[in-house]
Homo-oligomer: A and B are copies of this chain.
Amino acid sequence: MNRLKVLFHVNEAGRWPRVLLNAKNFINDVGRGQANIEILANGAGVAGYAPAAGTCGASAEGNDDGKILAEMKNLSDQGVVFAACRNALGMHAIAENSLPVFVMVVPAGITELAKKQAEGFAYIKQ
């Protein structure tokens, strides 16, 4: 089989713990470096990149913002790509220069989702 390529779509901030766990379990299953993984956040999902904004994890995950960013960084170090939709950042008043350095900003999240699927990435919605 060809190398697996997976694209996770996050459009609600509360879904971050779930997507990070899924990415981690997926890597554990196929082996580090054995798959291409991208996580694209648009809509309210981008708040996960800016916990200081106070908009992420307002519910159950409320106190886990630092833990979430640490896990993102850990996955980034393993090759996972983190992307954010510029339109969504604007709507949520999140400055691009406030984002973690490993976050790639794309002009429009939907375009990124369409392009990656056209490149053979499997789409997984959280």
Contacts and interface: CB of A to CB of B under 8 A. Distances in A.
Contacts of A60: none
Copy tally for this chain in the complex stands at 3
In this complex, the member of A110, A120, A122 whose beta carbon has the largest number of chain B beta carbons within 10 angstroms is A110
A111 B122 CA distance: 10
Contacts of A52: none
Nearest to A122: B117
A18 B2 contact: no
A58 interface: no
Contacts of A28: 108
B4 A114 contact: yes
Nearest to A3: B118
Contacts of A55: none
